[in-house]
């Protein structure tokens, strides 16, 4: 599992297209076509990485019927999830309250995620994408 955070946005200007190879231009065009912003590519940077089994054990520490756990389990069903400003408080509170029962590694991931969630509170344009990588 990888938690990616929005690091920057890329807007391709006409002058940039003229200096871009046709192969690279094809990749950019495809990225824009499947993206959710018109004319903008979001540049995501990996922030937290763990194996699928480790992720499962980590989120198993959250309340079983809680919304935070349900949200984070979504990546197992859908392959990826988005975390935006509407999820920050919910996730941060659940992670914080579950810290005492977590392993040291799980606590570290939780603190890193809480810090990312706090960044999102301060900068609403930031969001997280969590993606499952089955080959890990």
Q: What is the pTM assigned to this prediction?
A: 0.76
Q: How high is the pLDDT of residue 118?
A: 95
Q: Which of 2, 31, 3, 1 is nearest to 115 (CA)?
A: 3
Residue 133: predicted pLDDT: 86
Alpha-carbon distances, residue 20 vs 11, 15, 17, 41, 54 (angstroms) = 13, 9, 5, 15, 41
**Nearest to residue 112, comparing CAs of 123, 136, 128, 90?**
128
Task: Give the C-alpha distances (Å, rounded to integers) separating 121 from 55, 84, 87.
Answer: 24, 9, 10
Q: What is the pLDDT along the chain (136 residues), one digit of tens a residue?
A: 899 887 655 555 556 656 767 776 666 555 555 555 555 556 788 999 999 999 999 999 999 999 999 999 999 999 999 999 999 999 999 999 999 999 999 999 999 999 999 999 988 778 899 999 876 5
- pLDDT value of residue 35: 53
- Beta strands (DSSP E) in the chain are 2-11, 40-49, 80-83, 128-131
The neighbouring-strand residues paired with 49 are 2
């Amino acid at each position: 599992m990888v938690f990616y955070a929005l690091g920057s946005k890329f807007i391709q200007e006409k002058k940039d297209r003229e200096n871009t190879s046709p192969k690279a231009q094809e990749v950019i065009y495809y990225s824009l076509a499947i993206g959710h912003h018109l004319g903008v590519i979001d540049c995501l940077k990996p922030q937290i990485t763990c194996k699928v089994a480790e992720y499962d054990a980590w989120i198993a520490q959250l309340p079983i019927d809680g919304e935070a756990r349900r949200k984070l389990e979504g990546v197992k069903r859908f392959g990826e999830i988005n975390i935006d400003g509407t999820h920050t408080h919910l996730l941060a509170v659940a992670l914080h309250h579950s810290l005492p029962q977590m392993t040291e590694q799980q606590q570290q991931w939780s603190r890193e995620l809480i810090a990312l969630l706090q960044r999102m509170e301060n900068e609403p344009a930031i969001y997280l994408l969590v993606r499952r990588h089955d080959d890990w």
